[in-house]
Structure 1
Amino acid sequence: MTAPIKFGEGDGTLQAVGGMEGLTKLVHAFYRIMASNEDYRPLFDMHPQPIDTSIDKLILFLHGWMGGEKMYAKKYGQIALPRAHAHLHVDDSNRMMWLNCMSDALQECGYSADLREYLITQLSVPAGRIQQVSEMMRGNEA
């Protein structure tokens, strides 16, 4: 009998989303929902077009973040999330929009409530840091 996958341990989270195939499906759903839902469209419009590079970057980043190989760094170099988003004005509304869109994508992909809750809770940390740094930088511009 196999032990249940433990999110956050080793590559347990990556396994829970279905490895690279599941992660790719999730990220594509995330950006499709963002583009097609007027509530999330402001986020989509923040991204450079065509959207392919943003999709690739999120897949590779999340692959490492979920315990897999650090593929983002191999292709794009090291990342500091607040610095990578420094050109954007990210407020509380944008942060919540991003998390809600990801929550919708997780739901659409049929992940368990436990995994959805775990991921949104964990993703809230870097999303909050991006918002904090953005607001601090914007405050310095005033």
Structure 2
Amino acid sequence: MMNTPYKLLGGEAGVRQLSQELYRVMSGSAEAKTIRDMHAEDLSGVSEKLFMFLSGWLGGPNLYLQKYGTICLSTPHSKYAIGPAERDQWLACMDGALDNIGASVELKEMLKEPMFHLADVMCNRD
């Protein structure tokens, strides 16, 4: 049986750690200031939503779908100007978060292309 990214991260605890670490990296990165400024000062709510989304997206329980009934990523992001620069800032933060939590090379390779596509969907300008 193939390992899902959810399992490789260590299940619920690992996905929650990744979600929280993403926003720690974002908050500490001068290069990610543009996307950090798109978020509220308190990141706990968005971190929880990301955790819930990633849980299902990575092969675990569909927590976001269970709570919110639908998953449309572009609508909540549409009020922000997101282009390739912002996408790449987010991806750099995710790469840093994966590194910081000790994600395996296997997992990082497994997620590289899907994470790019996930972030690319948010782009609403050139």
Contact 1:106/1:116 (8 A) holds in 2: yes
Show the counterpart of 1:9: none
Match for residue 6 of structure 2? 14
C-alpha contact 1:99 1:120 (8 A) present in aligned 2: no
Deviation at 1:103, TM superposition (A): 0.4
Could you tell me which residue of structure 2 aligns to residue 140 of structure 1?
none
| Matched residue SS, 2:115 | helix
Give the greater-gyration-radius structure (CA).
1
CA contact (8 A) 2:5 2:110 kept: no
Matched, 1:135 2:112: no
Aligned-residue offset at 1:88: 0.9
TM-score (norm 2): 0.92
CA RMSD, aligned part only? 1.5
Q: What is the CA distance between 1:31 and its match in structure 2?
A: 0.4
> For 1:5-55, what per-residue CA distance to the aligned partner results, in whole angstroms no more than 9, with x for missing partners?
43xxxxx11000110101111111110010011111221111123211100
Cα displacement (A) at 1:75: 2.1
Unpaired runs of at least 5, structure 1: 7-11, 137-142
Partner of 1:60: 52
Residue 84 of structure 1: CA displacement?
Answer: 2.1
Name whichever of 97-106 and 120-129 sits farther off.
120-129
- Name the count of aligned residue pairs: 126
How many angstroms apart in 1 are the aligned matches of 2:117 and 2:58? 14
1:69 corresponds to which of 58, 61, 66:
61
Q: Using the alignment, how far apart are the partners of 1:56 and 1:20 within structure 2?
A: 12
Q: Counterpart in 2 of 1:34? A: 26
TM-score normalised by L of structure 1: 0.82
